[in-house]
Structure 1
């Protein structure tokens, strides 16, 4: 596998030798000092160019990066409508395992790019001094945020309300419907509540990573292992148990957050827990 230095030199040298490329930025985890380095990190690169169409005419210019195992061009797909406006991206996986996510951006959209940035940006080359202010990568946008009383109540409301959809799916024997609601909404709000408790204990000045991937560093071992059991979704009995376990964990963490912040603990817990138990018992009589 090519080293990080080899990859960065290659990406920058191409831009230095191509007058159409005026600015290069690096984004994502490789700019974040809080993320451990590994060989799976993408090279998230943006080239700010003067002539978009000349790049898009052919993919041959990309061959300089090496032999590709696969490439996706999200803005050139029919099934998934483009979302980047005038920007155009190439997602490339190479034979040696390196991956480049390369985006072409019209050079006149520099200001728009930085206004939309998540803060994890590093300027690699700026031929025309287009970037007027110092750019220091920061993951502040992803730090845990202390919830307002309304945000706390909304999280509780969403967790317990969507739980009824899981119950409905299980009662109807529509397991995929139930799985999607448990995974996409119910458990995501459980993780949100857990993150707030972690913030109250450890401070609101760090990130738990994308998809809460570092949350296990901060949860009690018992709670982490219990949380993992809620990912058992391969049968109706497992799904019921996963739902009940989510209830237990959410109850524990939301009550703790409410107490620490002086917020009112809502009545949804008792009413929806009773509703769920009634449905479950009726199906097992």
Structure 2
């Protein structure tokens, strides 16, 4: 596998030699000093260009970055509608295992780019000195934030309401419906609540990473193993158990957060739990 130094040099030198590329930035985890380096990190690169069509008309210019195992062009797909407006991206996995997420951006959209940036940006090349102030990459946008009373209540409301959809799916023998609501909505709100407790205990000056991937570093062994058990949903029995376990964890963490912040924990927990057990026992 080519090294980070080799890859970064490749991108910058290509940009230097191409007059249509005026600005190059690096985004994502490789700009984040708080993320451990590994070989699976993508190279999230943006080229700000004067002529988009010159690059889009064929893909041969990408060959200089290495032999491709696979490439995806999201803005050129029919099944999945494009979401980047005038931007155009290439997601490339090279044969040596390196992965590149390359985005072409019209040069006149520099201001828009920085206005929607998540803060994890590093300028690699600026031929025209467009960037007037120094840029320092930071992940502050992703730090845990103390919830307001309304946010706390909304999280509780969403968790307990969506749990009834999981119950309905299991009762109807529609396990995929149930699993989807558990995985995509209910558990993410459990993780959100757990992150708030961690923030209260550890401070609000760090991120738990995308998809809460570092949360295990801040949970006791018992709660971590209990949380992991809720991902075992390969049968009706295991999905019911995962749901009840999520109830227990959510209740534990939400009551802690409520107590520390002086918020009111919702009374409908008891009613929804009773409702769930009655449905469970009847099927």
Task: Establish whether TM, by shorter chain, passes 0.5.
Answer: yes
**Residue in 1 that maps onto 2:184:** 184
Using the alignment, how far apart are the partners of 1:258 and 1:166 within structure 2?
A: 25
**Residue in 1 that maps onto 2:247:** 247
Using the alignment, how far apart are the partners of 1:281 and 1:93 within structure 2?
A: 49
User: What is the correspondence of 1:1-285 to structure 2 with a 5 Å cutoff?
Assistant: 1-283=1-283
Deviation at 1:132, TM superposition (A): 1.4
**RMSD over equivalenced CA pairs, Å:** 0.4
Using the alignment, how far apart are the partners of 2:265 and 2:19 within structure 1?
A: 61
Q: Give TM-score scaled by structure 2 length.
A: 1.00
Aligned length in residues: 283
Secondary structure in 2 matching 1:46: strand
Using the alignment, how far apart are the partners of 2:170 and 2:149 within structure 1?
A: 32
Deviation at 1:13, TM superposition (A): 0.2
Using the alignment, how far apart are the partners of 1:270 and 1:39 within structure 2?
A: 47
Deviation at 1:191, TM superposition (A): 0.1
Deviation at 1:133, TM superposition (A): 1.4
Provide structure 2 residue ranges, at least 5 long, that are not aligned to the other structure: none
- 4+ runs deviating over 3 angstroms: none
Deviation at 1:39, TM superposition (A): 0.2
Q: Give TM-score scaled by structure 1 length.
A: 0.99
